[in-house]
């Protein structure tokens, strides 16, 4: 028991280090840019360059070569087949849409957001910061939790325990938004963490979850910076429609996930067969 706890904590720590490695430099550079010269977005090319270097490094490039295979396997940015890509994105989009509908019905999207200092930026500059911030956050969190943390835990404890552990870590990291906000949004983060974790397990790749996480963060950051204006339903009819839509979309998502499981299993079998025959 103690050994299992230690292994889980060790991989959690590795995941947190990876997330900090990806996200902290951009946070510092963006903050300095916004403070010193907010109308000249010099942080954008620097951030994109750094992000490209980070992806290459986590995917096995660079020194030390002794850790290259470890980084590549645990980052697991495996390119998917066409069928895997289609079904994983369909299943994920439907699932996240279901969550947004439920959050709109019960959580009131408008109450979770407020304009920040970025709202004074010109729209094109604000849009660039939203895009880069979304990419950095999605890569940092997916690479950390569904990659470097969940991958080894799947191998040691199985997918269910690994997804639970990565989801708990994913929820707790959002405590930086403040405890009151976390209490209101925890169910959403739990469900999103399970969706991302399941996608990563079924496809053995963080790419589908990474794409969905990026799109979700574009909306979230856009809301917080007033780039996007959105509020929850104000009438009982609108709430009912949101709930009904969530039920329908959620059911379709379950069908798509079952199909993804079949497609991914077939892909793994075919890949193993090709390796053995080679």
End-to-end CA separation in angstroms for the chain: 41
**What pLDDT, on a 0 to 100 scale, did the predictor assign at position 274?**
65
Distance of alpha carbon 123 from its chain centroid, rounded? 25
Q: What is the model's pTM?
A: 0.90
List per-block mean pLDDT (blocks of 10 residues) for the chain, which spans 278 residues: 83 95 97 92 97 97 95 96 96 95 72 52 89 96 97 95 96 83 85 97 97 92 62 70 95 97 89 67
The answer to whether 127 touches 249, Cβ cutoff 8 Å, is no
How confident is the model at residue 234, as a pLDDT? 57
DSSP string, 15-71: HHHHHHHHHHHHHHHHHHHHHH-TTS-THHHHHHHHHHHHHHHHTT-SS-GGGHHHH
How far, in Å, CA of 115 to CA of 8, rounded? 38
pLDDT score for 122? 85
How is residue 53 written in tokens? 């270097």
């Amino acid at each position: 028991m103690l050994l299992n706890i230690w292994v889980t904590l060790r991989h959690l720590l590795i995941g947190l280090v990876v997330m900090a490695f990806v996200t902290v430099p951009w946070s510092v550079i963006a903050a300095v840019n916004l403070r010193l010269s907010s109308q000249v977005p010099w942080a954008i090319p620097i951030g994109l360059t750094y992000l490209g270097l980070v992806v290459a490094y986590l995917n096995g490039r660079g020194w030390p070569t002794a850790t290259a295979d470890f980084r590549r396997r645990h980052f697991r940015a495996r390119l998917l087949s066409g069928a895997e890509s289609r079904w994983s994105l369909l299943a994920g989009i439907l699932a996240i849409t279901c969550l947004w509908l439920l959050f709109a019905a019960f959580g009131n999207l408008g109450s979770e957001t407020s304009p920040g200092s970025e709202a004074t930026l010109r729209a094109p500059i604000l849009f660039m910061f939203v895009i880069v911030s979304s990419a950095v956050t999605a890569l940092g969190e997916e690479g950390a939790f569904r990659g470097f943390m969940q991958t080894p835990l799947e191998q040691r404890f199985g997918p269910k325990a690994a997804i639970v552990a990565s989801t708990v870590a994913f929820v707790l990291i959002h405590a930086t938004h403040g405890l009151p906000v976390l209490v209101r949004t925890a169910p959403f983060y739990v469900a999103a963490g399970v969706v991302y974790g399941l996608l990563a397990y079924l496809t053995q790749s963080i790419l589908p979850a990474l794409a969905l996480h990026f799109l979700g963060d574009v909306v979230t950051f856009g809301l917080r910076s007033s780039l996007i204006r959105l509020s929850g339903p104000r009438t009982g009819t609108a709430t009912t429609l949101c709930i009904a839509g969530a039920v329908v979309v959620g059911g379709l998502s379950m069908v798509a996930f079952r199909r993804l499981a079949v497609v991914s299993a077939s892909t793994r079998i075919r890949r193993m067969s090709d390796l053995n025959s080679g």
